[in-house]
Structure 1
């Protein structure tokens, strides 16, 4: 079974990650969730990143706000794919978090999604894992088909509203 590590810098970040975790479960991906801080619990972050592969984790999603060093610190300790999720904070609406995550030095990449873009992180993790787990391919196709259907339904609703004008 595919396994993703999900690390958040604060328990306050959970609400921004809840739908992502649900989506990973929908894709039948095992999720290992923890709260750790690059600044307040650096030894624990290091230990987690160094042992992730032997724990069966194949992709790590790390979410953090403000200085948002967590994804980069994790990436420094592992060669597993790391996906960073910048969390919207009260300061700069999450732009500070986005820049902290996306501006990694050469050699230590972190794939980065948009601010509070945790669902895209789940989809990206599933796409990465689908290279090894063929059963994810139809699940990803079905997910996109479901999104397309929702857009089509929205089109029909708008057209009906326009006719009433």
Structure 2
């Protein structure tokens, strides 16, 4: 798979060097660029104008704007790796994952470059351009009546209504498919066992996790700490922003967009013409 790897600083070599090695060892074609979104915005603009990769893996620490800026410019999937330069990578994780609807970035846990490589392997095996026919929303059955889960389902339905792609709701991930897993964040015990974690190693399945918070908790700083603690307990996890089931669904469309079937919808969402 043709992969553009882009990082913003030499200080992240402990992440991008083993990342490049793993990608090459698994047969991916790697194009590497080091560009600071803050110090060289014009150079970044020129480089993004000529991208011909199938996917971008971008990493940054601290403010970590690079993955989001790339996602704002391209329709292909962008995987963001938060580099733990400070506070355990909490700042970078939220800078990467908390994107506005329409501009999805799939975030790994801090420093978890292996999760990005694993996602590419699963994506290649699934061949979603031919097999993607429904949004598989996974949530615990007894949580469906909670107000914040009802809100997420309403947002998901808005995308279903526009795309005419079926939505299936289940309490377990579907094998050999792309699953969007809603994860209720327990602020009191964020590391409690989850009903479903990452897909088994070697399986042909993708799981995108969406942290779910109540409206009240969403406004509280302590809830952010609970989210990052939960993220850290899911090895290999791929995440979108808090309550952002819409971006998880858009990321699914990007992964299934090899032939451009969803390009118009993705473009309209990016421009703000579609809301969820």
Q: TM-score, normalised by structure 2?
A: 0.45
1:61 and 2:57 matched? yes
Larger mean CA deviation between 99-108 and 20-29 belongs to 20-29
Separation in 1, partners of 2:116, 2:104: 15
> Of 61, 64, 68, which residue of structure 2 is paired with 1:72?
68
Question: What CA distance in whole angstroms lies between the structure 1 residues aligned with 2:103 and 2:37?
Answer: 16
Out of 95, 98, 103, the residue aligned to residue 100 of structure 1 is 95
User: What residue ranges of structure 1 are gaps of 5+ in the alignment?
Assistant: 133-142, 146-165
CA deviation profile, 1:122-147 (whole Å, cap 9, x unmatched): 11123234445xxxxxxxxxx749xx
Secondary structure of 1:31's counterpart equals: strand
| 1:25–1:31 CA contact under 8 A, matched in 2 | yes
Q: Are 1:21 and 1:122, in contact at CA under 8 Å, matched by a contact in 2?
A: no
Structure 1: which 4+ aligned runs deviate by more than 6 Å? none
Aligned residues: 131
* Structure-to-structure mapping, 1:1-165, within 5 angstroms: 2-53=1-52, 57-89=53-85, 91-132=86-127, 144=202
CA RMSD of aligned residues (A): 1.8
Distance in structure 2 (CA, Å) of the matches to 1:37 and 1:130:
33
Displacement of 1:18 after TM fit? 2.2
Evaluate the alpha carbon distance shift between residue 43 and residue 127 of structure 1 in structure 2; reply closer, same or farther with a 3 A threshold: farther
- Shift, 1:23, TM fit: 1.4
Q: Which moved more, 1:11-20 or 1:57-66?
A: 11-20
Per-residue CA distance 1:41-64 (angstroms, 9 max, x = gap): 1112222222212xxx10000000
Over 3 Å counting, the alpha-carbon distance change for 1:126 and 1:47 in structure 2 is: farther
Local SS of the residue matching 1:85: strand
Distance 1:98 1:28 in 2: 28
* Structure possessing the higher relative contact order (Cα contacts under 8 Å, 6 or more residues apart): 1
Unaligned segments of structure 2, at least 5 residues: 128-200, 204-276
- Decide which moves more: 36-45 or 98-107: 36-45
SS in 2 for 1:106: coil
Shift of 1:11: 1.1
CA distance in 2, matches of 1:87, 1:114: 9
Normalized against structure 1, the TM-score is what? 0.73
